[in-house]
Structure 1
Amino acid sequence: MKAVDTNVLARFFVDDPDDLEAARRRPAALEAMRGRVFVSVTVLLELEWVLRGFYELPRASIHRALSALCTYGNVVVEDRARVLAALQAFEQGLDFADALHLSRAASCTALLTFDKRFIKRASSLPDAIPCEQPRSS
């Protein structure tokens, strides 16, 4: 098994004929993804950022791509259950990075943050651990 990085996954998911370098590397990315591969959580986090920030893909397309990746039989996704939980929260409106932070902290009693918007959105999710602001003494 080989680990893949964000560049390979971006070339796999996005066919960008206007980017000559991307078009040149896409066949190799498609071939690499035919084998058994490992995708780390950090690569998924960066991939979402690239798909959103660089390629400006809509949220629904990003969700579809990341969800599909989790279903491929040849792909081992690190902490797959937590990633799937994060994708569910992402689908319900949470930022993907925040959704990953929240899902990966599921064994904790709370997630501390100063982000009031995150606290409000996370509190509407079923089964999410509570998010709260740190208290000063």
Structure 2
Amino acid sequence: MIAVDTNVLVRYLVADHPTQARIARERLAELSTDRPGFICREVMIELVWVLRRAYGFSREQVCREVEELLATEELEIEAAHDTARAIHRYRRGDADFADFMILGAAQRTGASTVWTFDRSMRRLDGVSVLDATDS
């Protein structure tokens, strides 16, 4: 198994640096089901952030790219089920992808709620937004 970092995936998907994009394509083509690439949760979260913020991908574009990675047999995605659920919810635009990944991990481990100060998460089931108003 070969761990794949965010910047390799970005070069592969965006091809904004010709030499690095070529190398990324060649290396990823070497992967197989017997010798898969591994993408950890942190890389997936960072990838979504970079594609949105640095490259201006729409939510839909990001969702399509992540779904293609999830469908690639030569890649093992850590917490693939959480990632697929997070992408499904992210597509609707309720919160950030990272928030959905946090919520998915919490639910998978049996947490009764997620405490946060992030008001954008208030509409999500399983989230308690803490009151931070001064008394």
Normalising by structure 1, we get a TM-score of: 0.85
Q: 2-side partners of 1:78 and 1:44: how far apart?
A: 9
Q: Which runs of 5+ in 2 are unaligned?
A: none
Alignment of 1:53-132 (within 5 A): 53-93=53-93, 94-106=95-107, 107-120=110-123, 122-123=124-125, 130-132=126-128
State the number of aligned residues. 124
Query: Residue in 1 aligned with 2:42?
Result: 42
Task: Report the more deviating stretch, 111-120 or 1-10.
Answer: 111-120
SS of 1:56's partner is coil
CA displacement, residues 88-131 of structure 1 (integer Å, 9 cap, x when unaligned): 111121211111111111121001111222112x13xxxxxx11
User: 8 Å contact 2:121–2:129 — kept in the other structure?
Assistant: no
Question: Root-mean-square deviation (CA), in Å?
Answer: 1.5
SS of 2:50's partner is helix
Amino acid at match of 2:111: C
Amino acid at match of 2:59: R
Query: Residue in 2 aligned with 1:126?
Result: none
SS of 2:81's partner is helix
Amino acid at match of 1:115: D
Question: How far apart are 1:26 and its partner, in Å?
Answer: 0.7
Query: Residue in 2 aligned with 1:133?
Result: 129
SS of 2:73's partner is coil
Q: 1-side partners of 2:15 and 2:21: how far apart?
A: 7
Q: Which runs of 4+ in 1 moved over 4 A?
A: none
